[in-house]
Amino acid sequence: MQDFFLDLFSGMHVPKELIVMLMSLIPIVELRGAIPVGAALGLDTVTTFICAVVGNCLPVPLIIFLARPIVSFLKKTRVLGWFARWMERKTEKNRDKIMKRSALGLFLFVAVPLPGTGAWTGALCAALLDLRYRFALPSIVGGVIGAGCVMTLGTELVKWIVQIF
């Protein structure tokens, strides 16, 4: 995936910072993929971190506001109705885990850099669980910053190990 983006933007003279921001906007990749790409592009650590966090947080308010109406619409369609119902079942299954600690639970869910967690999933969960926006948004942004710190430290550790050998 990283090579795809590097090849895609290499002939366009797109700023490296914009590449990192665009990568962090993409679901699944998010900043977990954007931070190593920023390091591979030669960006400094702070710039990479800021671009990845900002890019990853940009879609969160839209997801929180639009997820519920979109899922309701999709449930009425034949083609994607099964997917919308699956998302609701999956969210309901994890309701107790997230609601038990509410804002802290959402923060931890987003902050752990594992597949299936992140800003997109956290915002979707917040919307489907009807969490209050004033609690959900700071929790998700904090989680993104936490995940960014973990990924930045991990990326810097890998760079340091590679330099040794």
Given a contact cutoff of 8 angstroms between Cβ atoms, the answer to whether 119 and 139 are in contact is: no
The predicted structure's pLDDT at residue 1: 56
CB distance 38 to 148 below 8 Å:
no
State mean pLDDT over 6-20. Answer: 78
Triad 80, 23, 134: Cα angle to 5°: 70
Global pTM value: 0.85
pLDDT digit string, tens, across residues 107-154: 988 999 888 889 998 999 898 888 888 889 999 999 999 999 999 999
Q: Which residue has the higher pLDDT, 93 or 46?
A: 46
What pLDDT score does 20 carry? 95
pLDDT digits (tens, 9 = 90+) for 39-69: 999 999 999 999 999 999 999 999 999 998 9
Distance (Å, whole) CA 113 – CA 152: 11
